[in-house]
Structure 1
Amino acid sequence: MSQDQPVFRVLLRMQIHAGMEEEFERTWYQVGKAVTDHPANLGQWLAKSQEEGVYFIMSDWTDEPRFREFEHSDGHLEHRTKLHPFRSGGTMDTMNVVYAMGGKG
């Protein structure tokens, strides 16, 4: 990533119904190509919080307009429909990455 080509990042916090965590993880992985196959997507990650039933989904995009295009697409609606039964709540934050620094490991 270069500074003149900022990354648009989306961070979702999802609360998953108790007892549905493993099925949610499998389903997220199975339907993930709906996101990563979009030409403007730079990658996505699923992280499990130490807080019970909480997950974070982070995805990086070339820019906000291309993300919003995806967000309103039929592909995204289908993706959301498959994950919705697992959710008991959640939030979405969006941001522009200012700097990125890689580690040595």
Structure 2
Amino acid sequence: MADTNNQFIVTTTEHIPGKDYEVIGEVFGLTTQSKNVVRNIGAGLKNIVGGEIKDYTKMLDEARNVSVDRLKANAKEMGADAVVMMRFDSGSIGADMQSVAAYGTAVKFK
């Protein structure tokens, strides 16, 4: 992401071009989303006919955005200027919940 207008940088790369920084530590953003009855019915129908389950895709996209927002908040609380090496992890918790974690390394510009 660009550093224009003092935006907080979150990148999947190890280095930010033109920036010198020190590592502060690891940061995380976590969320768990639950499927609702309507989504479960729709998913059941899609299981029969096949195809993308758009409600689940939307739920996972929302969860990803929430986890990145929480990652940024965690990093800012630590005094970071950016996060490098950001990654995602996700998994199911039981049959009705999905967990998404964003994690990376918080850094402070020199």
Larger radius of gyration: 2
Class of the TM-score when normalised by the shorter of the 2 chains: 0.3 to 0.5
